[in-house]
Amino acid sequence: MSTTLFSKIINREIPATIVYEDDQCLAFRDINPQAPMHILVIPKKPIPKIVDAQAEDQALLGHLLLKAGEIATSEGYGDAFRLVVNNGAGAGQTVFHLHVHILGGRGFSWPPG
Ligand code: 5GP
């Protein structure tokens, strides 16, 4: 698996505003926020895309969603927020280290753009 800038954030080689960390994941504020709350939750394991996850990653994937919900709630924007996982460049993925976007603090439309 290739190294991305998110691995460098995990390793403190480049700075980020970290809001949560444990042995499995890291959460930090997006450098180009698309909403008042825009946080990325990433596994420390460098899985490039959700489709690259394996059966052995099942608990890790659940952990990311559990923590995303807790982090979103702790930010104080209520229970209206959106979780997004872009898979592949055609879907808007630009960093190939799996990440869950937490977006909140504004209204959202459906379908997404
Ligand atoms: P994607 O488009 O891959 O789903 O999302 C990647 C996200 O990473 C984008 O929202 C982008 O703004 C964010 N991002 C890219 N580089 C950096 C960085 O160096 N630091 C932080 N905090 N976020 C970044």
- Nearest-atom index, ligand 1, CA of 29: 22
Q: What's the per-residue H, E or C state across the chain? A: CCCCHHHHHHCCCCCCCEEEECCCEEEEECCCCCCCEEEEEEECCCCCCHHHCCHHHHHHHHHHHHHHHHHHHHCCCCCCEEEECCCCHHHCCCCCCCCEEEEECCCCCCCCC
What's the CA-to-centroid distance between 40 and ligand 1, angstroms? Answer: 8
Q: Is the CB of 7 under 6 A from ligand 1?
A: no
pLDDT tens digits for range 54-64: 999 999 999 99
| Domain total of the chain | 1
What's the CA-to-centroid distance between 34 and ligand 1, angstroms? Answer: 11
- For residue 38, the enclosing domain spans 5-104
pLDDT tens digits for range 68-84: 999 999 999 989 999 99
- Within-domain flag for 30: yes
Are 48 and 96 in contact, with CB atoms under 8 Å apart?
yes
- Within-domain flag for 109: no
- Within-domain flag for 111: no
- Within-domain flag for 112: no
Q: pLDDT above 90 covers what percent of the chain?
A: 95
CATH at 28: 3.30.428.10
